[in-house]
Structures are given as C-alpha cells and as structure tokens.
Structure 1
Amino acid sequence: MSREEAVTSRRTLLAGVGAVGAVSVLAACGSDDPAGTGAANNGADPEPTDQAEEPGGDTGGGEVVGKVSDVPVGGGAIFAATEMVVTQPTAGQFRGFRAVCTHQGCPIASVDSGTINCSCHGSKFALDSGEPRNGPATRPLTAREVTVKGDDIVLA
C-alpha cells in the first residue's frame, strides 16, 4: 500500500467516524417525548398518566397524595409512593415538597421536631418553605403545589 493510499484510507475512516458522531449528536438533540406525541418534557416532573380515583369521588384530575388526617399540625408526613413530603405548619395550611434532599439526592427520612429531615448528612428544612435550616444543604426542597379536596391531599 502506498503512502497516498494510506492517507486516503485514514481520511475516509475519519470522515466516516465524523459522520457517525454528527448523526449521534443530532439524534440526542431530538424530542424528550418517547411516545412521539409532540409534547416536550422540558425537565419538568412528568404528569401522571393513570390516575386512580380514590373512593370518595372526583379529585379534579390531580393525583391523591394522602389523607389530611395523616399530616399533623406543626409536623408532616412522607408519602413514598408519590415521593413527596407534605407538611401542615399551621392548622389548615398544607405545603408539599419533593421528598429528596437538595444536597446529594438522599430521600427525606423524617418530619419531626419542627423540621423536615434528611438522615444522610443531617440537613434540616423548614416546614413552611422547605428552606434549609441546617446544612450541608444550601438550596430549599423543591416545592410541589398541593390542595385539599375533602379528606384528600391532592397534587395540583
């Protein structure tokens, strides 16, 4: 094989590798919509698709997180099925948060002593705002809007 043929072969190989790389990049830039419905996710939490209606009637389309009676005044409860923590800082005032610590993604372990607590590294968050009260977390918990429909706490 001559030097010219070897250079051409390398050029052909590199051009082919470049083409495969370009196709891979373009494919990665495609839609986040795996079903091809045209709705982009944009990094938001996915909408629930099969919402089982709880006994007691229509919840207005939101996912039932839990019961009002499960969340004590001045405290809160963790609902693992929806990866949420719901607090009731004062009577009738419900706040919802994603039950994942913003420090390193550990699950929230408890709600007691007036704070939402991560057991991994000791971060504690405020019941009413999800703001960190004790580090190492420096960002608040991700808020999730909840409403009360009858006896149910519903993800809005």
Structure 2
Amino acid sequence: MRAFKRWFDRSLTAQAVLIFLLGVGVTALFRRDEHPVVWVIQGVLYATIVIAFVAVQRRRASRAAGTDARGIVELHRKIRHREVPREPEERATMRRLVAEQLGQIERGRRWLPYWLGSMILVAVGTLAAGVATGSWVLPLILAAAVIGFCCWALWMRRRSIDRFRYMRSSLQS
C-alpha cells in the first residue's frame, strides 16, 4: 500500500485518471438525464483544469526549491513524516522549499476570511433556495458538506503550518 501511495503521489497521470473518474461519477450522479458523452466531456474538463493547476504548483515549487518534481514529492513526504535530512545539499533544498511553502500559506491568510465567508454564503444560499422550493434534504446535505469542507480546509491549513514551522526550526538547528 505504501508503494502504491508513493506512486500515486508522484504520478500526474494516475491523479488525472482518478479525477476523471470522480468527475464522471459526480456528473452522472447529478445529471442522470444527460447523455453519457456529456459526463465524459465534463470529466475530461475537470481533470484537465485540476491537473494544469497541480502542474503549475509543482513547477513553481520546484523552481523555488531548486529541484525537480520528484524531489519535491520526496521532500514533502519527509516533511509529513518529520524527517530532517542529514545531507547539507538536501537540507538547503528543503529549507528553500519550507520557506516558499510557509510564505505561500501565510500570504493566503489575507484572503481566508473572504473565502470562508463566500463558502458560508453558498451553503446558506443553497439551503434557503431549497427551503423556498420545498426540497430541503439535498440542500441541507450540500450545506453540511460545504461547512465540513471549510472545517477540513482550516484543519489541513493549521496542520501544514505546524509541519512547516517544525521543519523550519529543525533545519535551523
């Protein structure tokens, strides 16, 4: 399982296939009356957008750290497991990566209240629209999912900040 997880983390193709399958499944779930070709086209569109975003983020991180995409994935694995590298070159690369990623998270803090507010507005708006039309079960599920996603995103952000700060202090010693 660990080898599969590592392979999946490194392979953009595997990630694209998973996103495509999830996109087709979600589209088929919500648009049952559409032709299956529409589901496939939307799945391809979703996968293309997400993989382009991930590729740009990987390229930006690899330029900032001074290593290739595989090196970035390996450094992120070491950060998740709190493994401090011993080699001076790898320490310097990780120090640059940690500084870049921590700076990016802290710069995004300015937009966090606006993002959370808009997500809460979406949740409340869909719930209000559902109650107004008389169908409140699906909007209630959607509102709970949106609020759950916001809580998960805040938790992951806090966890990432803790990991990067730990690694930054470990690399300075």
Range into which the TM-score falls when normalised by the shorter chain: under 0.3
With normalisation by structure 2, the TM-score equals: 0.25
With normalisation by structure 1, the TM-score equals: 0.27
Which structure features the higher share of strand residues?
Answer: 1
Which structure features the higher share of helix residues?
Answer: 2
